[in-house]
Amino acid sequence: MRVIVPLQGVVQGKGGLFWGSVIPCALFYFFQLYFKNRRHHHRSPPPPPPPPPPPHHSPVLPRSLSRILLSPRSPAGPAYVSGRATSVARISADSPYYVGLRKAAEDPYHEVHNPHGVIQLGLAHNTLSQDLVHDWIHQNGTTAILGRGIAPYQPLDGFMELKLAVAGFMPQVMEKPIFFSPSQMVLTAGATSAIDILSFCLADHGNSFLVPTPHSPSFDGDIKWRSDIEIVAVPCRSTDNFNLSITALDRAFNQAKKRGQKVRGIIITNPSNPVGKLLDRETLLDIVDFAREKNIHIVSNETFAGSACGSKEFVSMVEILEAEELDRDRVHIIYSLSNELSVPDFKVGVLYSYNENVLVAARRMAKFSALSAPTQQLLISILSDTRFVQKFIEINRLRLRKMYNTFVAELKQLGIECTSSSGGFYCWANMSKLLRSYGEKGELELWDRLLNVAKINVTPGSSCHCIEPGWFRFCFTTLSEKDVSVVMERIRRISAATKSES
């Protein structure tokens, strides 16, 4: 280090007295300043930027009230919020995923009323078949809810009747006669709650989960924000078509161990998000072996199970465990009824576990994210209408496939290739040709252009922790066909602009 040399001069007495006093002073002053700034940043984050001018409908706090609150500060300083909250606030403000969501929420596209608004392609929600469910409710809604009376306090992990209905529904969705036991289910207000609950049950503060990357952009928050679990990335590469390799898994585990990180489990998403890959039977068995060898848990996030299509077969962990007597205790699966029924607003998640101790703890934790009684009544009625369910599954699947094919084909016409996908509500596109510079910076620059110039909210690969720059996730399941044309036109303009620059 360069500092050592002049200090050596001090020791050896060469012009040392001068440098000997200046350098340590300078260092001292520098460190003071550095730590003071860090402390300042840590303890009192800069005041929030003034709220943007409210559109028709102000999503931000009323300006007048905000101003009253922001100005007269108590002499002791602003009221403290936890380290956790500060981190959430910072991420919300800076992270592209959340910035994009916010912009799309504040300035949403509408064909007639807001044609220059932001088109939302960043949410992995499916509303393609929402109309079918709405029609059903319109025709049957009243009896569906009132027929059973408003419920008083009930088991907060879901009505048994609903669990039974779900046990009958999931095999229909997977198109296989798989057996689900209602007593192994905990129903939650959204799949995010199910992940949160498992994070609290399977690992302690500061422990880690292995997660193949690229992964869902919301995982960082879902897993870390409350339970404080670290994610150890298991990178998948385009050269492998982003498929998971057990070698990579092993390597990541060992490296984590060397760093002193305690790995408590692995979270796999199948079909994967954002790439849409299915894990085959052999890989699933390898994962079970791996987990057994390391004595860790497996969380199988199967929230996109019903969207699996194409030539490859969707294999659920439940199928694997039907054969394996051992190791069931370490496996926990998550489903999303809102995804399967194309009603993202319903927020219904299913935690399915073979571990009785986990179920006991999870049932207690379900109190913090329990499902609304009328929503449960409604779902019981819908799911019991097996004819409707059958028809729905068919139509929904067709619409998903059609939208996927259309979207990917049109991207291809623009020169943008996507990895082949077997499921999910999105496609994984290689936009590296449009990057001004190859790297994370270039990727974020493109993301910014897409959001603020083209006005489409897509998710950059870096938000998914993809190690290769230039990949973007496009969610297309909240679009109409007309919307797709608009999206493509906007991308074409960006593409043309980029080409004309080079």
**Residue ranges in 305-344 that form contacts with another protein under rule CB under 8 A:** 326-327, 329-330, 344
Residues 389-428 within binding reach of another protein (CB under 8 A): none
Closest contact distance (angstroms) between CB of 420 and another protein is 29
**Spatial distance between the Cα atoms of 23 and 29, rounded to a whole number of angstroms:** 10
**Spatial distance between the Cα atoms of 157 and 359, rounded to a whole number of angstroms:** 10
Nearer to another protein, 349 or 470 (CB): 349
Say whether residue 160 binds another protein (CB under 8 A): no
Contact 174, 237 (CB under 8 A): no
Nearer to another protein, 204 or 394 (CB): 204
Residue 194's Cα: distance from chain center in Å?
Answer: 13
Residues 94-153 within binding reach of another protein (CB under 8 A): 98, 101-102, 104-106, 108, 110, 113-114, 120, 123, 125, 134, 137-138, 141-142, 144-146, 149-153
Burial class (CB in 10 A: 0-12, 13-18, 19+), 357: exposed
Closest contact distance (angstroms) between CB of 49 and another protein is 11
Nearer to another protein, 45 or 171 (CB): 45
Handedness of CA 381, 385, 391, 397 (dihedral sign): positive
Closest contact distance (angstroms) between CB of 20 and another protein is 41
Q: Which of 121, 187, 201, 434 binds another protein (CB under 8 A)?
A: 201
Say whether residue 370 binds another protein (CB under 8 A): yes
Which distant-in-sequence residues (6+ apart) come within 8 Å of 140 by Cβ?
381, 385
**Spatial distance between the Cα atoms of 107 and 122, rounded to a whole number of angstroms:** 14
DSSP 437: S
**Spatial distance between the Cα atoms of 349 and 39, rounded to a whole number of angstroms:** 40
Residues 251-290 within binding reach of another protein (CB under 8 A): 264
**Spatial distance between the Cα atoms of 60 and 49, rounded to a whole number of angstroms:** 12
Say whether residue 299 binds another protein (CB under 8 A): no
Residues 463-492 within binding reach of another protein (CB under 8 A): none
Binding string, residues 217-236; x marks residues near another protein by CB under 8 A: -x--xx--xxx---------
**Spatial distance between the Cα atoms of 296 and 93, rounded to a whole number of angstroms:** 35
Residues 41-100 within binding reach of another protein (CB under 8 A): 48, 55-62, 65-66, 68-70, 72, 74, 76-85, 88-89, 92, 98
Closest contact distance (angstroms) between CB of 441 and another protein is 26
Say whether residue 162 binds another protein (CB under 8 A): no
* Residue whose token pair is 């079970």: 288
Closest alpha carbon to 270 in 300, 249, 296: 300
